[in-house]
């Protein structure tokens, strides 16, 4: 962490000069990969030659030992450009594409300006029908989160992994004038704490009070404290219940049929911390986060739950959806409808942070 802080302090003034590029892993594999684009051109990164046109508009890249082979290229790394997006397998990406060998596999990395990336992903992270001030708050949180990832990954070949990819390029299809407007209205604005971009976590709904970073994510940070939240009781995910019979609960937990489940200990915000589950195998003590992982994040939607046994069935009743630390999206929506602007929303959920325009 110390090294990261120093790095951030050293680099942040430089980042302030221009919009940073994000590097996103869009494909990793052992076989060949085909890339397509209009007026596609390629350049070997270990040579002095410039870009060479690929007249067919399609380039197949194979692994040959520890080098890449594509048409006449034999190189360690290739960079591709096109007029318009480049297709990599099923995905279409904007910006440029670099292909390299990483740990014996072909890695395709998309370099994309941060703001272009945000316009593409914001629609996956928050509903475009949300209030414009809530969308702007989300744009700042997402920008800060991405920038922080970039600072943490400077010594790696990419900033964001392929699991994020699905969101990213699902996002391109979901580009929406409302989310794009929120990104443009907040261009370059980032949340900082002591000159460092913050870990801007966010989630769907908290059920009335957010969690601390420590209890939700094991991140005891001064700006991830528990705050009250004015989210509507009618928010679609504010209240939920989950019914599982003893056998199914046992199967998900990896135990036999469960006889009893009890929250042994709760956090200061009332969320489950430790859970005891008793089956024929005896009593198992699980961290509530692990209990939630085993039941499924979409099934047990948060750790703010009560559990009761009714006959052979266990009934979980809970509030909120997500880990609960940082900005509550349904709370941001309620605050925006109540007349708060995005700055007020951000300073409520990330207290003590400052909004700074970096470029």
Least distance in Å: CB of 306 to Zn ion?
A: 18
Return d(Cα 226, Cα 318) in angstroms, integer.
Answer: 18
Nearest to 62 by CA among 86, 35, 80: 35
Number of residues counted as binding Zn ion (CB under 5 A):
5
Nearer to Zn ion, 150 or 271 (CB): 271
Rounded to a whole number of angstroms, the minimum distance from the CB of residue 44 to Zn ion is 52
- Residue 327 sits in the site that holds Zn ion (CB under 5 A): no
The distance of closest approach from Cβ of residue 190 to Zn ion in the complex, given in angstroms and rounded to an integer, is 23
Which residues, numbered 190-229, are part of the site for Zn ion (CB under 5 A)?
Answer: 206, 229
Give the 3-state secondary structure of residue 28.
Answer: strand
Pick between residue 15 and residue 345 the one whose CB is nearest to Zn ion: 345
Report the residue from 37, 231, 255, 261 that binds Zn ion according to the rule CB under 5 A. Answer: 231
Region from 108-116, 127-135, 300-308, 330-338 binding Zn ion, contact rule CB under 5 A: 330-338
Q: Is 66 helix (H, G, I), strand (E, B) or coil?
A: coil
Query: What is the closest distance, in whole angstroms, from the C-beta atom of residue 349 to Zn ion in the complex?
Result: 9
Alpha carbons 55 and 358: distance in angstroms, whole number: 41
Tell the smallest beta-carbon distance from residue 339 to Zn ion (Å): 17
> Does residue 328 belong to the site contacting Zn ion (CB under 5 A)?
yes
Closer by beta carbon to Zn ion, 275 or else 332: 332
Does the footprint of Zn ion cover residue 345 (CB under 5 A)?
Answer: no
Which residue, 238 or 249, has its beta carbon nearer to Zn ion?
238
Q: What does the DSSP 8-state code read for residue 241?
A: E
Nearer to Zn ion by Cβ, of 54 and 229: the residue is 229
Which residue from 85, 123, 270, 331 is in contact with Zn ion, where contact means CB under 5 A? 331
Q: Which of 110/226 has CB closer to Zn ion?
A: 226
For residues 187 and 355, the answer to whether their CB atoms sit within 8 Å is: no
CB 256 within 8 A of CB 280: yes
Q: Please, where are the H alpha helices in 153-263?
A: 162-173, 177-185, 213-217, 246-253
**What is the nearest approach in angstroms of Zn ion to the Cβ of residue 206?**
3
- Residue 45 CB neighbours (<10 A): 12
Nearest to 308 by CA among 299, 317, 300: 317
Phi, psi for residue 334 in degrees, rounded to 5: -65, -40
Q: From CA 88, how far away is CA 72, in angstroms rounded?
A: 20
Give me the residues that bind Zn ion (CB under 5 A), please: 206, 229, 231, 328, 331
């Amino acid at each position: 962490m110390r090294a990261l802080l120093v790095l951030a302090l050293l680099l942040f003034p430089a980042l302030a000069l221009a919009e940073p590029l994000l590097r996103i892993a869009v494909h990793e594999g052992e076989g060949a990969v085909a890339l397509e684009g209009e007026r596609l051109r390629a350049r070997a990164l270990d040579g002095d030659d410039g870009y060479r046109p690929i007249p067919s508009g399609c380039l197949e890249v194979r692994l040959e030992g520890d080098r890449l082979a594509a048409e006449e290229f034999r190189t360690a790394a290739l960079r591709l450009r096109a007029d318009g997006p480049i297709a990599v397998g099923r995905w279409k990406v904007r910006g440029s594409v670099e292909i390299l060998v990483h740990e014996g596999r072909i890695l395709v990395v998309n370099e994309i300006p941060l703001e272009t990336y945000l316009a593409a992903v914001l629609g996956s992270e928050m509903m475009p029908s949300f209030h414009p001030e809530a969308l702007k708050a989300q744009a700042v949180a997402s920008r800060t989160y991405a920038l922080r990832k970039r600072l943490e990954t400077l010594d790696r070949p990419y900033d964001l992994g392929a699991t994020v990819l699905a969101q990213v390029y699902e996002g391109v299809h979901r580009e929406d004038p409302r989310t794009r407007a929120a990104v443009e209205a907040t261009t370059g604005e980032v949340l900082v704490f002591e000159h460092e971009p913050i870990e801007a976590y966010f989630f769907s709904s908290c059920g009335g009070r957010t969690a601390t970073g420590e209890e939700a994510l094991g991140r005891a940070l001064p700006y991830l404290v528990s705050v009250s939240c004015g989210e509507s009781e009618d928010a679609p995910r504010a209240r939920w219940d989950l019914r599982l019979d003893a056998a199914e609960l046992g199967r998900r937990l990896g135990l036999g049929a469960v006889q009893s489940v009890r929250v042994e200990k709760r956090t200061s915000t009332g969320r489950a911390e430790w859970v005891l589950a008793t089956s024929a195998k005896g009593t198992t003590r699980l961290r509530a986060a692990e209990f939630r992982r085993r039941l499924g994040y979409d099934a047990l939607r948060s750790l703010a739950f009560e559990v009761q046994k009714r006959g052979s069935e266990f009934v979980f009743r809970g509030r909120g959806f997500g880990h609960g630390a940082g900005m509550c999206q349904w709370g941001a929506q309620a605050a925006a409808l109540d007349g708060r602007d995005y700055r007020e929303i951000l300073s409520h959920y990330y207290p003590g942070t400052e909004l700074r325009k970096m470029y």
